[in-house]
A = this chain, B = another copy of it.
Amino acid sequence: MTKLTSLSDAISTHIEDGDLIYAAGFTHLIPFAAGHEIIRQNFRNLVLARATPDLIYDQMVAAGCARKVIWSYMGNPGVGSLRIIRGAVERGDLEWEEYSHYGMITRLQAGASGLPFLPMNQVGVQDLEQVNPLIKRIPDPYGGKDVIVVPALNPDVAIVHVQRADENGNAHLWGIIGEQKEAAFAAKKVILTAEEIVDESVIRSDPNRTIIPDIIVDAVCHVPFACHPSYAQGYYDRDNEFYLEWDKVSASADAVNAWLEKWVFRINDRSEYERNLGEATINRLKVKPLMSKSINYGDY
């Protein structure tokens, strides 16, 4: 059953003020288009969870969408600080909750599994455990050392960008797959954005590649170039210049507001964003093909 819809409808239908959102993608396939649509629709009091908030959450916090951020690495990857979130935290203007990457992804894995919690081995340091009461320790019932546990994280909505999906929401993704699967299975609702909508037969030609199945997907949106300034493996490159530029923009509230006006509020959708980027940028981010070798499933 087709779930194809516009991104704007998907966001307005499935997200509510106050929701816990997990926009997935570890450094790759970051759903910037959906983040911008959330800003454009003026959502408030969201709890934004991501291993690495990256620029997208910095922008959403700047726009006033969030009351809290949950992270395991709050930086501008390869550049430095996320100035907006960092500033809000230092001023006491934003709640936060913090894990190591492993703790964060373990919370999602527990959520995806339908388990109340999952264990991790001890790491020596206890400082994070002491400032985050959700991190606990329990005995090993088999007589070993105590283990550390974290509770399941079950976001209200996961937003996952993929390279190709059919209109029902069966999705192929590749390259860095990060926590895409875990976030999708953990969430109560899943909004999928995709570089390409393909026929179901493309998905069925390689079922081992299907990481997200239609049965957990609520909306499918065709949004090419949705990840800029992050990237989609095989489709376009990371726009490192933008990551450097944001470091400058985010140093001034006025510059941030001007940026949001120009790149989010004054435009209607992602295709307008892409047009505004211009051909020079788009060409700079293009990538030459490098194809995988095929495999034989056999016609049984």
Contact = CB atoms under 8 A, between A and B. Distances in A.
Interface of A: 114-121, 136, 138-142, 144-145, 147, 149, 151, 163, 172, 174-175, 177, 202, 205-206, 208-209, 233-235, 237, 287-300
A297 B202 contact: no
A67 B163 CA distance: 50
A135 to B, nearest CB: 10
A292 B298 contact: no
A298 B147 CA distance: 41
A28 to B, nearest CB: 12
A175 B297 CA distance: 7
Contact of A289 (B117, B202, B299): B299
Contacts of A202: 293
Contacts of A293: 202, 205-206, 294
B292 A295 contact: yes
A174 B114 contact: no
Given A172-B295, A209-B295, 11 more contacts: A115-B119, A115-B121, A138-B138, A205-B290, A235-B296, A237-B298, A287-B298, A290-B297, A290-B298, A292-B296, A292-B297
A265 B119 CA distance: 47
Given A205-B291, A296-B289, A140 B119 contact: no
B289 A291 contact: no
A296 B300 contact: no
A-B pairs with lowest CB-CB distance, top 4 = A234-B296, A206-B292, A287-B298, A290-B299
Contact of A149 (B141, B287, B300): B141
